[in-house]
Chain A
Amino acid sequence: MRAFEYVVAASSAAARTLAREVDGARFYAGGTTLVDLMKADVERPRRVIDISRLPLAAIEQRGDVVRIGALARNSDVAYDARIVLHFPAVSEALLSGASGQIRNAATIGGNLLQRTRCSYFRETRWRCNKREPGSGCDALDGFNRGHAVLGTSDSCIASYPGDLAVALCALSARVVVEGNDGERTIALDDLYVLPGEHPERETTLGPGELITAVELRAERLHERSHYLKIRDRASFEFALVSVACAVELDGKNIAQARLALGGVGTVPWRAREAEAALTGAPPGEAAFRRAAETALTGARTRAHNAYKVELAQRAIVRALRSVCGTGA
């Protein structure tokens, strides 16, 4: 690990000031991503700002909005009775990620900002446009079995690795960001940016901006939600493909549907056209398969990840069957 300055922030405003003062500052919450990548020499912060003691860990319900503090631990959120009841996909996503020890340390805000697991990003001897802008991408023609097929560019095919953000994306979560001009709330969708020619830029957060909370709306649609994760091992492994979905049934048809994919996109991937394909249709194989094909329409595959298209389609069908109660 390279030398760095460690400072404890007394308030979120102080944390943001400390971050703006230095080029290359990082917030420290749970440490599970940051310390790992500092050991890998991928993250080289000059200043580490400890925000872990700030009072941002509460989970509160006001009316039909559940607000999860950015410093709430993954395990606390996963087992919170309100989250389990109103947003089962969020609880399932959190419990499918990492290990018990890591879930006790990792925070909600940090989880959203975790970095890709692309091995060419995580090892400094390879070329990576995300790590060293303009250096090239060794994943394009390398071993890219784990890489994205949606939202890719000629500069980057690294997949977004998280589970939580995929579930939050499907459930139209909003992210509360504290910045220089006060607080702003953005759709989770608008937090992430496609790699394009600048994969080093992953979010719309500005210098010194801090995620302080995530908000979810409790409604019938979100109660009937599910997260399905497909991976190489049964536990403690990142997704090859994952599906977050929610449906509201009205009599015999699907009144509303939400669908987001993980493991296949460079960002958490909301499949809006597939949602539209489900709306008004009777829940069943025909509608599920049509939605699945729609969701993967724009897929661009490389040498080793073409299997993800079929795998994602099957996972979508299975997740929809499960959430609609038409068989697992």
Chain B
Amino acid sequence: MPTTERPAAPAQPAVQLTLRLNGREATFAVEPDVTLLDLLRERAGLTGSKKGCDRGQCGACTVLVNGRRTLSCLALALAHAGDAITTIEGLAAGSELHPVQAAFVEHDAFQCGFCTPGQILSAVGAIAEGHARTGDEIREAMSGNLCRCGAYPNIVAAIAAVQRAR
């Protein structure tokens, strides 16, 4: 379909959106053009999820939606009413790191840290999917997460260590 010039739709007022954010029910007033990523960062104050490319190419915005890893930059917030969202802020059990977080520290699986929240949530999702059993599987499963520092070998090692301990 062509991108013809049409009068823009009148801006729609914000509507109430309730979802489960890191285990707690949360309600926001949200306009249609707010992505899940912008909701998390700018409305909920959860800036752990990063805006890298904002176009679905880098994986820095990865979160778990109902336990499955997905890109929050390509999702409209309003489409996630009632969903359970897990961000990096909600992954640890109190002061005890999630095993994937602990493994990233143990294996020095980051340098600047910008891609790390997305890497960790993607790894948690990939392990749960059951297709991160070998080095090749891990590399394939993690191909949606870019690391400009090139920490890839240590990221693979961290995920493999979590896999072995399971």
Contact = CB atoms under 8 A, between A and B. Distances in A.
Interface residues of A, number: 43
Nearest to B7: A46
B112 interface: no
Contacts of B78: 6, 50
Interface stretch (B85-93, B96-104, B139-147, B157-165): B139-147
A160 to B, nearest CB: 15
Interface in A3-29: 3-6, 23-24, 28
B75 A31 contact: yes
Nearest to B82: A53
Interface in B17-70: 32-33, 35, 54-56, 59, 62, 65, 68-70
Contacts of A234: 140, 143
A35 B35 contact: yes
Contacts of B11: 3
Contact of B32 (A6, A36, A75, A130): A6
A26 B7 CA distance: 16
A277 to B, nearest CB: 35
Given A31-B76, A104-B70, A44 B6 contact: yes
B68 to A, nearest CB: 5
Q: For this complex, into which size category does the number of interface residues on chain B fall?
A: 35 or more
A133 B11 CA distance: 27
Contacts of B73: 35
A50 B79 contact: yes
B74 interface: yes
Nearest to A205: B1
A100 B54 contact: no
Interface string A37-81: 001111110111010100000000000000000000001000000
Interface string B102-132: 0000000000000000000010011001000
A4 B79 contact: no
Nearest to A233: B143
Contacts of A124: 3
Contacts of A35: 35, 56, 73-76
B71 A23 contact: no
A162 to B, nearest CB: 16
A47 B9 contact: yes
A100 B78 CA distance: 23
Nearest to A44: B3
A100 B79 contact: no
A5 B54 CA distance: 22
Nearest to B125: A100
Contact of B2 (A46, A99, A105, A131): A131
Interface in A230-282: 234-236
Given A46-B6, A101-B70, A130-B2, A236 B33 contact: no
B95 interface: no
A28 B55 contact: no
A3 B54 contact: no
Contacts of B74: 31-32, 35-36, 102, 105
Of the listed residues B68, B73, B125, B145, the one surrounded by the most CB atoms of chain A closer than 10 A to its CB is B68
A32 B35 CA distance: 12
A45 to B, nearest CB: 8
A186 interface: no
Contacts of A200: 1-2
A5 B8 CA distance: 10
A235 B79 contact: no
B6 A6 contact: no
A42 B55 CA distance: 13
27 contacts: A2-B9, A3-B9, A3-B10, A3-B12, A4-B12, A6-B76, A24-B4, A32-B56, A35-B73, A36-B55, A43-B3, A44-B3, A44-B6, A46-B8, A99-B59, A100-B129, A100-B143, A101-B122, A101-B144, A104-B65, A104-B70, A104-B125, A105-B70, A124-B3, A132-B4, A133-B4, A202-B1
Given A50-B78, A133-B2, 18 more contacts: A2-B9, A3-B11, A3-B12, A3-B33, A4-B9, A4-B12, A6-B78, A24-B4, A31-B74, A35-B56, A35-B73, A35-B76, A40-B55, A47-B9, A100-B126, A100-B129, A100-B142, A102-B56
Interface of B: 1-4, 6, 8-12, 32-33, 35, 54-56, 59, 62, 65, 68-71, 73-76, 78-79, 122, 125-126, 129, 139-145
